[in-house]
Structure 1
């Protein structure tokens, strides 16, 4: 497991995210089965947008609590309202399932990184010897830098930090017992 991250949040973030639990649990059960640890996808919504319905300023048009890009997913998810709790949860579960199918190693940290940054993590795992090792995969990351008004940040840091934060945030939302089928690390 990677180095621990400090997690702080307000009660309002927790309350807002808790409203998603029934829908997130339902849709992830539909796509993954009853043993899926739905607390992590709720933590993912906290990481994506603090469980708020917002339009991203990422330049891709990502929307809603799950930050889904309609131009990419609208055809696969017709008539899904990404601006609602149920639609956002359904879209998130569908995309997580797609990411799970792409994952070269069937671990949740890989799935969440694919959701966030695409399949490059699979190449990084391969360069690290094809083993389940977050630190080794991160050491093989060769992504660029994103430029913000306040400074530059490595895309490797962004994507690898993402799975750590989803893990930390998800731990507070229930059903995070690991099954042999859905292990995080």
Structure 2
């Protein structure tokens, strides 16, 4: 009899664990993070090509990369709001085909041997499903470890008056800045 009772308890426990244990399908976010990795590599490749063509980081932006025919032909440059000022070129963004992640690149006015890359993944539902993880993982793995850059989790949109990115973001808004040194 004790054997029967313990067997029933074991079976019930196993069924409870089996039925209540839910593991989210992480394949979507995993594939999006893989795409993020290749986009980071490609962005840095654009910058390397720009530098190798004799240009300096003091004038880098997507309009300049497009003029130099460095960007992919299916990448569109989008102006952000008003671009009538002398710094209007820094207010251009781009996206990779079939991606909702928005990229913006500007010179680092504090260090001419580096550039700043704003990554806005707030429109990507897959990445925003785990926003804190996606932002932290992308910043640490791709910006810091892969590109040897500095990850600014509080980075936010371009502030024209400062000619720099703002610093009012947070770890779950899907926006961060990567400062990459060359």
State the TM-score, normalizing by the size of structure 2.
Answer: 0.29
State the TM-score, normalizing by the size of structure 1.
Answer: 0.28
- Quick check: which one's helix share is greater? 1
- Quick check: which one's strand share is greater? 2
Larger Rg: 2
